[in-house]
Amino acid sequence: MGNNRVFFPQAALDQWIGDGKVDLAGDELTIKPEARRYRIFEAARILREVTGLEDANELVGKVKTRQFLNGLGADLLENSMVLGDNAYDVIPGFLGAPVGSFEEHLADIQGAPSGAHARGAPPASDEDLLAKFLLGNL
């Protein structure tokens, strides 16, 4: 996975899917207003260690894929994770990586009849695209 990744909390995705703001098909999420696609991987944002023990794996404050956490031996259930003697509060969701470069995305939507940029100037970067989407949908 590349450097340009974003964490989508499950609760936010549920709301956006219900509102028709995003599409989810298999392992691909599409932000509808801009038709930007992301390959997604089940993940968790680790908020805090709750037992008071040392966070030996240095997970607090990070987003890790479920595959990575399972490889460490972690058990995830809803908003909790247990790893050895440690227990953590987590936010379940998905880690997304853009499909293709931003330039490729812009080239793909240039002739799109969907009105991808109907609400103003096109975004200048993936970060700009996400910022505009999140500001209008949080």
What are the extents of the domains in the chain? 6-137
Alpha helices by DSSP H, the chain:
10-18, 66-72, 102-109, 126-137
Q: What is the per-residue burial (b if ≥16 Cβ within 10 Å, else e) of 111-134?
A: eeeeebbeeeeebeebeebbebbe
Predicted confidence band of residue 110 (pLDDT cuts 50, 70, 90) = confident
Query: What is the structure's pLDDT at 1?
Result: 47
Query: What is the structure's pLDDT at 78?
Result: 94
Tell me the HSE value of 16 on the side-chain side, using a 13 A CA sphere.
20
Task: Name 82's Cβ contacts closer than 8 Å, sequence gap at least 6.
Answer: 74, 75, 88
Predicted confidence band of residue 112 (pLDDT cuts 50, 70, 90) = low
CB 42 within 8 A of CB 94: yes
Q: How far apart are CA 79 and CA 61, in angstroms?
A: 15
